[in-house]
Chains A and B, each alone.
Chain A
Amino acid sequence: MNDMTLLERDVDTKNIKIAANNVQVYYGDTHAIKDVNVQIEDKTVTAFIGPSGCGKSTFLRCLNRMNDTIDICRVEGDILLDGEDIYDPKVDPVQLRAKVGMVFQKPNPFPKSIYDNIAYGPRIHGLARNKAELDDIVEKSLRRGAIWDEVKDRLDAPGTGLSGGQQQRLCIARAVATEPEVLLMDEPCSALDPIATAQVEELIDELRQNYSVVIVTHSMQQAARVSQKTAFFHLGNLVEFGETGHIFTNPEDPRTESYITGRIG
């Protein structure tokens, strides 16, 4: 952990939203995340990069306890959200997930209409007082998901009938609609064309004004463009974590350097 000093310097200056200390994740006997320490700052975009299967999604899912739904998954260590341990028995994972929203790696629209897909979260949490307000939330969210123009005439059509890229943006809009404090995005642009990608990146930038965003991406350019902090995972280890500019121009670990320059992964 030779970058510990660098991290500690940041703690003083920035507001820590999520702090993960010595996190271990096991799938049965497989040790998928090994002793990871990360601090995710408020009003910041943090990028997770690393080769396929290195545990990015797994770690991301720990941050809103989505791993609870996997029987064989075991999480150790502590993860603090605003200084509170989210794995504390007192914490209600349902409340937690309302605060820490998530866009999944594979788009998973509900077999409901586009409108109902977006209105799902607001309805559950009672965010709208009447139909007009709900309509408003739906439109705003779809606009932020950069998909409003494509679906505004068919809000009653099933969300599952959209194309893969449209579904991905629908899921982004759906996550944004509940106004989470932290948004976890697992490869949100993997199926998007450059224009839609640019729009989603714009959204991420906009979200950063108020929230903290964690994004998993396989695109170095995207990580460099949207994030202020970057974490590089390799085989379940957090190899390097720091300022994005620093990681991309002057990586300290040879593994980071070879991954960024395209020699491993």
Chain B
Amino acid sequence: MPTLWLVVLLFALAAVGFVLGRSRALATAGGDARALHSLPTYYGLNVALSALVPALGVLAIWVLAQPILIETRVSGMIPDELIPEGTTRGLVMSDVRRVADGLDEAVRQGSLTKSEADNLRSDATDVRARLGEVGVALGSDVRPEVLTAAQQFRRMTTTGNIAMIVVIGMLAAGGLAFAYTRTNKDFRARNVVEQGVLALLILAASLAILTTVGIVLSMLFETLNFFKLHPWTDFFFGSTWAPNFRGDSELSILPLLWGTLYISFLALLVAVPIGLFAAIYLSEYANRHTRAFAKPLLEILAGIPTIVYGLFALLTVGPALVKVFGRGEDGLLGVDWMTGATSVLTAGVVMGIMLIPFVSSLSDDIINAVPQAMRDGSLGLGATKSETVRQVVLPAALPGIVGAVLLAASRAIGETMIVVMGAGAIAKFSLNPLESMTTITTRIVSQLTGDTDFASPETLVAFALGLTLFVLTLGLNVLALYIVRTYREQYE
């Protein structure tokens, strides 16, 4: 693994640079650290960073870019007429990569020498059998053009790796030398290091943002592919969700969206009052001891994996609801409204329970942000605690609480495990909460699990669903954050 060793080497070089820079700075000041512009460590850090950062940056880009470059070069070498009927250039290239990897493996295990691997001819040797010996299984015999391309691939990779080591090494040495010669007692190493730290932080922040952009873009491309294969009018305005693999699927998001919203609504109906009241109790009534013990307990509830909630829905809540609303004469109500354990109500209730700590801890923070002076003002006028909460604290905290509820709603809409296990799989428009229904997230899971090929609309629809979900929750989050932020400004 040359890259790993290269990185180790770079760090070693940086360590050397640190010691060198530090001692040179001290030397120029005649050994008196007080004569330096900055602390000696800063000079060391400056040299170390100058050696390390540009080299690492170029290394990262190189490692990402080299395979792409080589791939396009090699794939360009295969003439169109040599690509067999029924496959694509991409499939041929994946063969090439497998053969190249196989050759690498064979050389590593010693069954082929380096020059043998480079000069192997498919008409002289049974490449498939030779590679099979070292544990690389190939689907078919290796065609001569694939073998040549694979050998070319290996050659270019080797050259690339050598070039990489040389360039990176020179860059690191150059950076070290440059910073080293600049080091003297008046050099403002502290400011340079400050800039370095700033650059590091910006890098981290932009990586996070870039990842988000990347996710959205990849979803977007697949979604566009989907809309090439399936009319967007059916997706957005159709009324039926009926995928089948004969090619006449009806793939409308609306019934799924209905299920999602209905279940989320029930969940909020459970979570908002309970969560809010819990928050009010904790922040306004509970004494310090109760608070110290009840708050972490509520937060543990937030840490339970959603799959566990799913089990709870499937094994406990669902059957309990059936006992109440189903089983005819044997049931508690003597009615037969509910047949299976999975239903909108099951999923809604369990999801509501999951959201309670979320709502309560957000509302608790918001209620605590209402200044004590406000409560004092109300209590000082002879209001009771609940009058104070109702008439002063809650109105003051209301925008923040609305924000918290919206955040909870977006969690509910995106929640997957509980609905997969508790809601059922039938896509339909119905108001009956005792029937099973399905949601966007459940359908994404079911469209993408099992054998899938990423070319049929039945699979690609998952990306369109995912993107819609993303836009929906993003919108809710932005709205919620906007509301919370305007509210924060109210008390400086």
Contact of A121 among B376, B382, B384 (CB under 8 A): B382
Query: Is there contact, CB below 8 Å, between A108 and B374?
Result: yes
Q: How far is the CA of A124 from the CA of B382 in the complex (A)?
A: 8
Report the minimal beta-carbon distance from B394 to chain A, rounded to whole angstroms.
11
What chain B residues lie within 8 Å of A178 (beta carbons)? 381-382
Given A71-B288, A111-B490, A120-B391, A106 contacting B373 (CB threshold 8 A): yes
**Beta-carbon contact of A98 and B381 below 8 Å:** yes
Residues of A within 8 Å of B374, CB to CB, are 108, 110-111
Residue interface mask A99-111, B partner, CB < 8 A = 1: 1011010101111
Instruction: Please state if B376 and A108 are interface contacts (CB–CB under 8 Å).
Output: yes
| Distance from B427 Cβ to chain A, minimum over Cβ atoms (Å) | 46
B372 contacts the other chain (Cβ, under 8 Å)? Answer: yes
Q: Which of B360-390 contact A (CB under 8 A)?
A: 371-384, 387
Separation of A125 and B378 alpha carbons in the complex (Å): 12
Q: Is A5 interfacial (CB-CB < 8 Å)?
A: no
With a CB–CB cut-off of 8 A, which chain B residues contact A112? Answer: 395
B449 at the A interface (CB under 8 A): no
Q: Give the residue among B287, B374, B381, B490 with the most A Cβ atoms within 10 A.
A: B381
Q: Is the interface of B mostly helix, strand, loop or mixed?
A: helix
Within 407-430 of B, Cβ neighbours of A (below 8 Å) are at none
Contact A174 B381 (CB under 8 A): yes
Cβ contact within 8 Å between B380 and A104: yes
| Residues 157-191 of A at the B interface (beta carbon under 8 Å) | 160, 171, 174-175, 178
Contacts of B373 in A (CB 8 A): 104, 106, 108
Closest to B372 in A: A69
Q: Residue B371 contacts which of A71, A95, A108 (CB distance < 8 angstroms)?
A: A108
Given the known A-B contacts A71-B287, A124-B382, are A110 and B377 also in contact in the complex, defined by CB atoms under 8 Å?
yes
Q: How far is the CA of A67 from the CA of B123 in the complex (A)?
A: 97
* Contact for B379 among A69, A160, A174, CB less than 8 A: A69
Contact with A94, one of B372, B382, B395 (Cβ below 8 angstroms): B382
CB distance from A110 to the nearest CB of B (A): 5
Asked whether any CB of chain B lies closer than 8 Å to the CB of A208, the reply is no
Instruction: List which A27-52 residues lie within 8 A (CB) of chain B.
Output: none
Q: How many residues of A contact B (CB 8 A)?
A: 28
B376 cross-chain contacts in A, Cβ below 8 A:
66, 69, 104, 108
B-chain residues with CB within 8 Å of residue A69 when the two chains form the complex: 372, 375-376, 379
Partner of B381, one of A71, A106, A160, A175: A175
Q: Are A98 and B379 in contact (CB under 8 A)?
A: no
Complex: A66 Cα to B381 Cα, angstroms: 11
| B contact residues, range | 20 to 34
Q: Tell me the A137-171 residues at the B interface (CB within 8 Å).
A: 160, 171
Hey, which chain A residues are within 8 Å of B382, CB to CB? 94-99, 101, 121, 124-125, 178
CA distance A71 to B372 in the complex (A): 12
Which listed residue (B377, B383, B384, B395) contacts A108, Cβ 8 A? B377
CB of A145 to closest CB in B, whole Å = 14
Chain A residues with CB under 8 Å of B391's CB are 120, 124
Q: How far is the CA of A109 from the CA of B379 in the complex (A)?
A: 13
B377 engages A64 (CB within 8 Å): no
Near B by CB (< 8 A), chain A positions 63-116 give 64, 66, 69, 71, 94-99, 101-102, 104, 106, 108-112
Check B177 for interface membership: any CB of A closer than 8 A. Answer: no
Residue of B with least CB distance to A96:
B382
Contact between A94 and B384 (Cβ–Cβ < 8 Å)? yes
Q: Which residue of B lies closest to A160 (CB)?
A: B490
Min CB gap B354→A, angstroms: 32
**Chain A nearest Cβ from B377, distance in angstroms:** 4
- Whether the Cβ atoms of B381 and A120 lie closer than 8 Å is yes
Residues on the A chain within 8 Å of B490, using CB: 111, 160
Tell me if B395 and A120 are in contact (CB < 8 A): no
Task: Tell me how far the C-beta of A28 lies from the nearest C-beta in chain B, rounded to whole angstroms.
Answer: 12
Tell me the smallest distance from the CB of B294 to a CB of chain A, in Å.
16
Is B16's beta carbon under 8 Å from chain A?
no
Residue on B nearest A171 in the bound complex, by CB:
B377
User: How far apart are B390's CB and chain A's nearest CB, in angstroms?
Assistant: 11
Give the residues in chain B near A94, CB-CB below 8 Å: 379, 382-384
B396 at the interface (CB under 8 A from A): yes
Q: Check A102–B396 contact: CB distance below 8 A.
A: no
Binary contact readout A178-212 vs B (1 if CB under 8 angstroms, 0 otherwise) = 10000000000000000000000000000000000
Q: Mark B391-405, 1 if CB is under 8 A from A, else 0.
A: 110011000000000
* Chain B: minimal CB distance from A255 (Å): 31
Q: Apart from A66-B376, A97-B382, A101-B382, what are 11 other A-B pairs with CB-CB below 8 Å?
A: A69-B372, A71-B287, A98-B382, A104-B373, A108-B371, A110-B374, A111-B490, A120-B391, A124-B391, A175-B380, A175-B381
14 A-B contacts (beta carbon < 8 Å): A66-B380, A69-B375, A96-B382, A97-B380, A98-B381, A99-B382, A104-B377, A108-B371, A108-B373, A108-B376, A111-B396, A121-B381, A124-B391, A178-B381
* 9 residue pairs, one from A and one from B, having the closest CB atoms: A98-B382, A108-B373, A102-B380, A108-B377, A121-B381, A97-B382, A111-B396, A94-B384, A124-B383
